[in-house]
């Protein structure tokens, strides 16, 4: 039986960086410059960033050349369709 990767709607800082293909420092800098939308989740006395996938896609759209953005979206959509075993390699 083939299982598929579920699409994610909310990302923490580390997974957002991976999704965008940038470092966590780049995301922190974008936050400081008010270039990226985010929310904070408070839990156990600490706060952490959370990003909706649509916000990350908008950041990509606004901060990359449009052809690269469309290609990256197509690649991500294709990767969601891969069987879970394929994604691990």
DSSP 65: -
**Average model confidence (pLDDT) for the chain?**
77
What does the pLDDT average to over 1-5? 37
Rounded to whole angstroms, the Cα distance separating 40 from 50 reads 6
pLDDT in tens, 49-61: 999 999 999 998 8
Q: Is a pLDDT exceeding 80 seen at residue 27?
A: yes
Residue indicated by tokens 């936050």:
31
* Confidence (pLDDT) at 78: 66
Quote helix, strand, coil % in the chain, to nearest 5: 55, 20, 30
Domain boundaries, the chain: 10-87
**Is the entire prediction scored with pTM above 0.75?**
no
What does the pLDDT average to over 38-47? 81
């Amino acid at each position: 039986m083939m299982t598929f990767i579920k699409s994610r709607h909310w990302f923490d800082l580390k997974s957002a960086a991976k999704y965008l293909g940038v470092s966590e420092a780049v995301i922190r800098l974008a936050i400081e410059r008010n270039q990226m939308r985010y929310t904070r989740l408070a839990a156990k006395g600490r706060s952490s960033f959370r990003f909706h996938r649509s916000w990350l896609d908008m950041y990509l759209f606004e901060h990359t050349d449009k052809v690269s953005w469309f290609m990256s979206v197509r690649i991500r959509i294709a990767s969601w369709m891969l069987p879970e075993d394929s994604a691990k390699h």
